[in-house]
Structure 1
Amino acid sequence: MSYRDLTPGLGTIDVVPRRFRGIVRFVIEWLPLLIVAGLWEYASGTVVPAAILPPITEILNIAVEMVISGQIFPHLRVSLYRIALGLGASIAVGVVLGVGMARIQAVEDFFDIFLTLLYPIPKTALVPLAILWLGIGTQAAILIVFLACLLPVVLNSYNAAQTVDQNLVRSARMMGTDDWKILWKVVVPATIPEILTGIRQAIPFAFIALVSAEFIASNRGVGFEILRHGQIGNYPEMFAVVIIISATAYLAVRGFEILKEKVVVWT
């Protein structure tokens, strides 16, 4: 739960004077991270040897150097390209499949067992199979990202399509609209907010799955860089790459949230 989820009352953001709310929101969002960073800095060299847990200040300096020098960008571009293709494919397939399962019984009967069996499997467990099918490289990583992101999109699309206001559907039928046009002109637009929620849930999964896949099935990308630095004992560089990909994922999620708010208002 975040401050946005709290209802008005004692201890919520609503009791703070309006001119101070931006500061309070900033503190609520970033104070836990600052506390963790402070504990990390203290633990390095005291509780844990600095060779194993480098100081956070050193790691941040290295991360900044990697960005300024452009050293990380070739690997970051490869990783983001894989995420874009895998996530994009999961959105295209997931929306069609979820809405189709909700509105057409035959489609649900056909795919239900497959998706039920696929749901509990850790998608990183499929990396060896992806390598066997597609080899080491981009295609295997894209497949893992696709599988990791597919189910959140399918489930949210399915739930949204099942709960569409039936008055809209009946009104369209009374106007002589056939079932296929109702599906794409009434049902799909009504499900957009929930579909966007599914995509929002899928974005972190995409980054998690990609880095895991690149540990094994790639010789490029941020996951490969994390593994490479870790194997040769360059732990400051390893943690720096972790921070860079974490910051990238955070920016991707927040950027999508801003886009979602605008789209939901428009719809």
Structure 2
Amino acid sequence: MSHQNTTFDQRLLDSFPPLVRPIVRFVVEWLPLVIVAGLWEYVSGTVVPRSVLPPMTDVAGTAVTLLTTGEIIPHLTISLVRVALGLGASIVVGVLLGVGMAQSDRVENFFDIFLTLLYPIPKTALVPLALLWLGVGTEAAILIVFLACLLPIVLNSYNAAQDVDQNLIRSAQMMGTDGWRVTWKVLIPETIPEILTGIRQAIPFAFIALVSAEFIAANSGVGSQILAYGQIGNYRPMFAVIVIISITAYVAVRGFEGLKERFVVWI
């Protein structure tokens, strides 16, 4: 479905003159956000009291204030460190596990049951367990981010490794490459595009899991600030922090997509 939509969007874009295509692309990408912002502005004070749902313009102004004064920066920095550590750990473990499962029946049989049981569980449901095991703080949040990001990376690595041309592996083995050296020198390089796709899918999960974990298992970070503002009914900064972390996640995804497009060209 996503491929069909991409093809349709490209055909639609190609129907315009080259000079106006960047403008059309910009409008198509940002129009949904403009519509949501307009509806938010209208609903505030009409359908929903302004005290409960502040206008979008007020929330945007508060977000700018939180950033320019530096009030939210320490919490945002802590949250980004947790995302980086949890996501980084899931990349290392997920790639090795996915490739290992594709190449070894023993590894696949050992971890398949665990991954199958873990897959349908909402990772936010594991926050109380993480809190019980690790206590309030960074470690619990990192664990939840790690678990939320692990599966898409494992699955993409596994599928990509299974699709690697076996002739490449045999050629490497005939040249004296064996064991884990085949994994490092043949399999992982060949699976990099799919691995990057798995990481791209995992980034939004990382931010969702982070905020959920920080609601309960942390006393710092953007999630804890959202909860703190909401508990005292200070909804303007609460929504402002939500907007800030949403924009941060969007920038992270788009930035990674840009790096991926440049990196894959050189593979």
User: Is TM (by shorter chain) over 0.5?
Assistant: yes
Q: Distance in 2 between matches of 1:177 and 1:143?
A: 36
Q: 2:7 aligned with 1:6, yes or no?
A: yes
What's 1:197 paired with?
197
The Cα offsets for residues 133-167 of structure 1, whole Å up to 9 and x where unpaired, read as: 00011111011000000111101000000001223
How far residue 199 of structure 1 moved from its aligned partner, in angstroms, is 0.5
Report the residue type matching 1:126 in the other structure.
L
Contact 1:127-1:144 at 8 Å conserved across structures:
yes
Aligned residues: 266
User: For residues 212-237 of structure 1, what are the alpha-carbon distances to aligned partners after superposition, in whole Å with 9 as ceiling and x for unaligned?
Assistant: 00000111000000000001011111
The answer for unaligned runs of 5 or more in structure 1 is: none
Residue type of the partner of 2:247? A
**For 2:169 and 2:257, how far apart are their aligned partners in 1?**
29
Paired residues for 1:40-79 under 5 Å: 40-79=40-79
* C-alpha RMSD of matched pairs (Å): 1.5
Partner amino acid, structure 2, of 1:133: W
Report the residue type matching 1:52 in the other structure: V
Q: Give the Å deviation of 1:89.
A: 0.5
Q: Is 1:181 matched with 2:181?
A: yes
Aligned to 1:150: 150
Structure-2 change in CA distance of 1:216 and 1:178 (3 Å): same
CA displacement at 1:176 relative to structure 2? 3.5
Query: What is the one-letter code of the residue matched to 1:44?
Result: S
Distance 1:165 1:17 in 2: 42
Q: Tell me what 1:93 maps to.
A: 93
Q: Distance in 2 between matches of 1:2 and 1:188?
A: 25
Residue 8 and residue 64 in structure 1: after superposition, are their counterparts in 2 closer, same or farther (change >3 A)? closer
**How far apart, in 2, do the equivalents of 1:68 and 1:3 lie?**
42
Change over 3 Å in CA distance of 1:68–1:96 after alignment to 2:
same
**3-state SS of 1:121 partner:** coil
- Matched with 1:163 is 163
Cα offset, 1:49, TM superposition: 0.9
2:241 corresponds to = 241
> Aligned-pair distance for 1:263?
1.3
Partner residue in 2 for 1:137: 137
Q: CA deviation at 1:4?
A: 7.3
Deviation at 1:8, TM superposition (A): 7.8
Q: Write the distance in 1 (CA, Å) between the matches of 2:142 and 2:179.
A: 34
Partner of 1:227: 227
Q: Residue 175 of structure 1: CA displacement? A: 2.8
Partner of 2:196, secondary structure, is helix
| SS at 1:97 equivalent | helix
- Aligned counterparts of 1:105 and 1:144: Cα–Cα separation in 2: 28
Contact 1:75 1:222 in 2 (8 A): yes
C-alpha deviation, 1:240, in angstroms: 0.1
User: CA separation in 2, counterparts of 1:204 and 1:228?
Assistant: 23
Task: Identify the residue that residue 80 of structure 1 maps to in structure 2.
Answer: 80
Q: Distance in 2 between matches of 1:229 and 1:178?
A: 57
C-alpha distance in structure 1 between counterparts of 2:106 and 2:10, whole Å: 49
Indicate the SS of the match to 1:6: helix
Q: TM-score, normalised by structure 1?
A: 0.96
Structure 1 CA distance for aligned equivalents of residues 24 and 122 of structure 2: 38
Report the counterpart of residue 24 of structure 2 in structure 1: 24
Q: Distance in 2 between matches of 1:181 and 1:68?
A: 50
1:3 shift after superposition: 9.5
Scaled by the length of structure 2, the TM-score of the pair is 0.96
Q: How does 1:111-130 map to 2 (within 5 A)?
A: 111-130=111-130
| Maintained 8 Å contact 1:8/1:15 | no
**What CA distance in whole angstroms lies between the structure 2 residues aligned with 1:180 and 1:36?**
50
Q: 1:213-224 maps to which residues of 2 (within 5 A)? A: 213-224=213-224
CA contact (8 A) 1:3 1:13 kept: no
Kept in 2, the 8 Å contact 1:127–1:216? The answer is yes
